Amino acid sequence: MLGDRDAARRVSDKLREADGGDIRLPFDINAHVASRGSVVYIAAINGDRVTSARFSVGDADKRRKVASEWAKDMRLRVNGATAMTTDIREGLERAEFAAVEADEAKRGDDGDLGDVTGEAAGFVDDAVVAELAWSHSDGRADFIVYDRATGEANRLDSVATAAGTITVPSISAGIVTPGGRVRGSLYVPSEHDPSGEDETRLRLDVTAFINRYVELPGDAVRVAVEYVLLSWVFDVFDELPYMAFRTADAGRGKSRALETVGAICRRPMFVGGGSSAAATLRLLDVFGGTLVADEFDFKRDTELAATLSQILNQGFQSNRPLVKCTGEDNAPRPFTCFGPKLFALRKTFPDDATETRTLSIYMRQRTRNDIPLSLPRAQFDTEALALRNRLLVPGGSSTSAASPSTRRSPRPTWRTVSIKSAFRCWPSLGPMRHAP
C-alpha cells in the first residue's frame, strides 16, 4: 500500500543505524518498484534469476513468508551453503529500501500523486494484469495479479498502479462467487491454472463441457466456444456482437444452453426477469464482464425491459456509456455497459439494430439421450470453475492479434492467441445468425 512507504522507510532507517554489518547470502537479492506501492524481489545466482516474489511496500508478514520459502528452496543453495531466514528477511528489507529510494529519486517531487484509491474488477497496465477472483482460504473476493516482469501470478487484496491503488469492489460480498455453495450471481475464477496455456487442449475441453450438458444444433458449438474465448478478451475490441439461444417452443434447451455457455465466460453475471433494473445496471457498471439474461420479454412495458433495451443499444461499443440521472441531486452519471451479452429468448428484439448485431442459435428438439435432464449441480459447478481457472491465462499486447487494418494500439490482456481464432471464426458467424 502507498501509505506504507513511510513505514518501510522507518524500518530501513533502523537497518542503516544498526551495527550488524553486512549480511551473507549465497545468492543476490535485487528489487525494483514494478508499480507504485509494490516491489518485485528477484533472487539470482551469478546474475541468473532463480525465483522472485512481489508484495506491497512495508508488508512484514509477506516478507517473513517469502524469506521462509527462500530459505527452504534448494535452488538457492550454492555448494551446499544455506541462508538463514532472518538473513534473507533482512536482505529483502534492504533491497526494498534501495528500490523505493531509487523509484522516488526517479519520480522526483511527484511521489504522492498516486494516492487515489478506486474500485475495479480488473486492471491492466505495462507492469501488471489483475483479475477479480475468489479466495477459498479467506472466503472472499481478491485479485489474481500477473506480474509482467517476473511472469508470476500472486494473490493480492489491492493492486498498486501508477494512478493509485485499485481495490476489490465494496459490493462484492454476496455477489461474487466461485460457484458451489457460495451464493452469488457473478462467477469468477479461484486461481490461475497455467494448463490453460495449451489452447488446443483448452478448446477441446470447453467443447466437451458444452456438449456434455446441452445439445446445440449443427456447428453451433464451435461458435459458442469462440464466443466463450472472445469474452475473455473482449476489452481489446471496440465493438462486440451479442449471442442469443432462441426457440418459440418450451423444452428445447435454450435456458440450459445459456447457463452452460455463460458459466465459463469471463465474469458472467446472471440476471432473470425479476431482477431490478437499477441493480442490473449498477452491477454491470461496477464489475463489467458478461451479462447473462434468461427469459426476457423486451416488448413488455417494464422498467427492466426498458433499461436492458438501453443497455443493448449502448453496450456493443466500448466508448458508449449509458447516462442516467442518479443521487439526491439527480445529477447525470455515465454507466459502463460494454461487454459480451448472452440471452435466452422466445421473441425478437424490439430494435432491428440490436437484432442485426446478435448471433442467434436456434435450438432444436433434443436427439441425444446422454444429456442429463436435471443438471448435476455440484459436478457442473466444479467443472465450470476449473475451466474458468484455465481460461484465466495472462498474455501480452494485442497488437499481433488484430488485422493491420484495425490500427489498434497495444492493449495488454489476459489472452491474445484466442483473438486470432475469433477473427478466423468470424466469417462463419454470419450464417448462424439467421439459421432456423
Backbone angles phi, psi at 240, to 5 degrees: -135, 150
Residue 271, Cβ neighbours under 10 Å: how many? 21
Query: Hey, which bits of 36-82 come out as E strands?
Result: 38-45, 48-56
Mean pLDDT of the chain: 78
For the cut 60, the answer to whether the pLDDT of residue 9 exceeds it is no
For the cut 60, the answer to whether the pLDDT of residue 174 exceeds it is yes
For the cut 70, the answer to whether the pLDDT of residue 414 exceeds it is no
Instruction: Pull the grid cell for residue 28.
Output: 543476490
More confident residue, 264 or 31: 264
Spacing of C-alpha 108 from chain mean position: 33
Domains of the chain: residue spans and CATH:
2-110 (no CATH), 117-167 (no CATH), 176-434 (3.40.50.300)
**What's the first-to-final CA gap in the chain, in angstroms?**
55
- Give tens-digit pLDDT for 76-116: 888 777 888 888 988 888 888 888 777 666 655 444 434 44
CA distance readout (Å), 21 to 31, 68, 87, 340: 20, 22, 11, 59
Confidence of residue 10 (pLDDT cuts 50, 70, 90): very low
- Give tens-digit pLDDT for 238-297: 889 999 998 867 778 899 999 999 999 999 999 876 677 778 888 899 999 999 988 665
For the cut 80, the answer to whether the pLDDT of residue 228 exceeds it is yes
What is the per-residue pLDDT for 2? 38
More confident residue, 44 or 9: 44
For the cut 60, the answer to whether the pLDDT of residue 305 exceeds it is yes
What mean pLDDT is predicted for residues 311-318?
87
CA pair distance 8, 342, nearest whole angstrom: 48
Percent of the chain clearing pLDDT 90 (strictly above): 25
Confidence of residue 370 (pLDDT cuts 50, 70, 90): very high
What mean pLDDT is predicted for residues 342-357?
84
Can you tell me which residue has the cell 497455467?
Answer: 194
CA pair distance 167, 157, nearest whole angstrom: 7
What is the per-residue pLDDT for 58? 74
Instruction: Pull the grid cell for residue 8.
Output: 518501510
More confident residue, 117 or 59: 59
For residues 256 and 355, the answer to whether their CB atoms sit within 8 Å is no
Most confidently modeled range among 7-21, 157-171, 223-237: 223-237
What is the per-residue pLDDT for 259? 95
Which own/partner contact pairs does 324-328 have at CB distance under 8 Å and 24+ positions apart? Answer: 324/281
